[in-house]
Amino acid sequence: MKTAKKMAAFVLLIAMMFTIAACGGNGSTGGNQSTGDAQPQEQAEKKIRVAMVFSGPVNDNSWNGSGYAGLKKIEEGLGVEIAFSDQVPVPEFEEAFRDYASKGYDLVIGHGGEFSDAAFAVAQEFPDVHFSVVNGNKNAANLSTFEVCDEQVAFLAGAVAGLMTKSNVVSGIGGMEIPPTYRSLEGYKAGVLYVNPDAQVLSTYTGSFEDAAKAKEAALAHLESGADIVFYYLNAASPGVIQAAQEKGAKAIATITDQYDQAPDTILTSALSDLSQLVYLIGEQFVKGSIKGQPYAIGVAHEDIVGLAPFRGQVPAEVEARIAEIKEELVKGNITVLP
């Protein structure tokens, strides 16, 4: 995508989305830490400091990597000082947030819904620090949430699977059973059944976004049960699903980032969420002083952020046309993905 198009989309996005909304129409931790030096900010008495916490590695080429790219954009584009902790274990989530807040960071971002409880708890202790959680589900006066409508783009991915399956059995693999994962797998299932009511959808949560061995085991179990397309919502564990699909001659649908280059003969498409732009938006709104302690939602109407990757000839023209029609119905609000 062109940078100019992205920036134009964000002007529209900011105007459209900054109201309370919901998707679907309705330090010192055990992880790695790093800081970055930002360029001087003109006429600023105190440089704004932004920290980000990740549960997985920032080099996973997926969820965490995309979020980290957004943090780097904040540093380079807004002239702030940044820091991050990745691979932070669940018992240390609160400690990571508390550590950055106590060190004077102005904005602390948790990259994933799994940080909701920790951010909410620590936000009560530091009312002068703003906290934000990507795909979070709790808000406070100083805690915002930016939610990607995962179920909408997953619905489109499911429609692709439902139209492309030959065995009439398809698979969905998720990591931790948290709201974004649930919405993705359920949205995928709804999309499959929307276009192919007779299809069977197998679903499994492995309990980990990072464990590739568990992901491969789950995918193989589904493929051996007749599935010929696997949709997965994972981070560093994604290669496990790709390997399983390659071994069985099946197709896969990725999420978060376009993973076509990892396996061109296997990846049908990817359900994209441009988290780098979303994270940059959080930082931009904080610097502008317009961010509030409320939920913000982004769906397929914001196509430069959420949507399917190019098909690159992997699906017939009639399938591509059908998916375009379904997307238009989603944008118009004529399809409610989840109750």
**Domain assignments of the chain as residue spans, ordered by start:** 3-148+274-298, 150-272+309-332
Place of tokens 């704004």: 48
Over residues 103-125, the pLDDT tens digits come to 999 999 999 999 999 999 999 99
Q: One fold for both 3-148+274-298 and 150-272+309-332?
A: yes
As a whole number, mean pLDDT of residues 202-224 equals 98
- 3-state SS, 149-217, equals CHHHHHHHHHHHHHHHCCCCEEEEEECCCCHHHHHHHHHHHHHHHHHCCCCEEEEEECCCCCCHHHHHH
DSSP code string of 320-333: HHHHHHHHHHHHHT
Return d(Cα 234, Cα 245) in angstroms, integer: 15
Does pLDDT of 164 surpass 60?
A: yes
Q: Tell me the pLDDT band of 339, cut-offs 50, 70 and 90.
A: confident
- Range from 10-14, 185-189, 237-241 carrying the lowest mean pLDDT: 10-14
As a whole number, mean pLDDT of residues 140-150 equals 95
Of 173, 179, 267, nearest to 213 (Cα)?
A: 173
- pLDDT value for 61: 82
Q: Tell me the pLDDT band of 33, cut-offs 50, 70 and 90.
A: low
- Range from 91-95, 98-102, 107-111, 177-181 carrying the lowest mean pLDDT: 177-181
CATH T-level assignment (fold) for domain 150-272+309-332? Rossmann fold (3.40.50)
- pLDDT value for 45: 63
Does pLDDT of 37 surpass 60?
A: no
CATH T-level assignment (fold) for domain 3-148+274-298? Rossmann fold (3.40.50)
- pLDDT value for 314: 94
Over residues 243-271, the pLDDT tens digits come to 999 999 999 999 988 999 999 999 999 99
DSSP code string of 4-49: HHHHHHHHHHHHHH-SS--SS----SSSEEEEEPPPPPTT-SS--E
Of 31, 165, 47, nearest to 91 (Cα)?
A: 31
For residue 12, CA distances in Å to 6, 24, 91, 149, 155 come to 10, 20, 39, 17, 24
Report helix, strand and coil shares of the chain as percent, to nearest 5: 45, 20, 35
